[in-house]
Amino acid sequence: MLLLTVAGLASTAFHPSDGKTYPRGEFYPLSSYPMYSHFSGRDYYVYLADADGGAVRCKDYGITAPKLKKRFKSDLKAAKLRESELRERRLSPAKLGMVADKVLRWVAKKRRADASLSPGDELTMRMVYIYSESGEIRKEEYRVAGAVLEK
């Protein structure tokens, strides 16, 4: 472990700083965190909202925002739909709504007693597309599912 640490520090210390551009990539053992090194020109996120579109805390339903998106992605895959189609906005609202409705009903069942929404209120799932166009970052938001909360 000591040898690996010394090798990593040495490679950093002796990295050329002559202003030239060097190839990108992994320089093992130092990682550039590849999951953050490339951003697609199109992406999306989902969030929970009330009937008027106001954001609702995921914590009220015992989940986190990343877990909500992961569940959405796994249900999308279970429905034999590809996330790439979703990013490219090639999925019909009916297919997308079917998946979102399933996820939202799963979330609604996990409502905590101290949640901001009460039984009879509508919980919705909203999707936000983010994309680059003409050098600008744009976003479009849609309501993809809704469910009335039960006791």
Alpha-carbon distance 68 to 125, whole Å? Answer: 10
Distance between CA atoms of residues 53 and 47, nearest Å: 10
Measured on CA atoms in the order 47, 51, 53, 58, is the torsion positive or negative?
Answer: negative
The residues near 21 (Cβ < 8 Å, ≥ 6 apart) are none
Q: Tell me: the pLDDT tens digits for 2-52?
A: 888 877 777 666 665 666 655 555 555 555 555 555 567 788 999 999 999
Model pLDDT, residue 100: 94
Query: By C-alpha distance, which of 116, 113, 102 is closest to 147?
Result: 102
Give the residues across from 146 on adjacent strands: 124
Kindly report, residue by residue over 54-96, the tens digit of the pLDDT: 999 999 999 999 999 999 999 999 999 998 888 888 888 888 9
Chain-centre distance of CA 30, in angstroms?
26
DSSP 74-134: HHHHHTT--HHHHHTT-S-HHHHHHHHHHHHHHHHTT--TT-SS-TTSEEEEEEEEEEEET
Specify the pTM. Answer: 0.71
Q: What is the pLDDT of residues 96-131, one digit of tens each?
A: 999 999 999 999 999 998 999 999 999 999 999 988
Can you read off the two tokens belonging to residue 14?
């002796």
- Nearest Cα neighbor of 69 from 98, 44, 102 is 44
Which tokens in the block code for residue 44?
């999306």
Contacting residues for 135 by C-beta, under 8 A, at least 6 apart: none
Domain boundaries, the chain: 2-35, 39-148
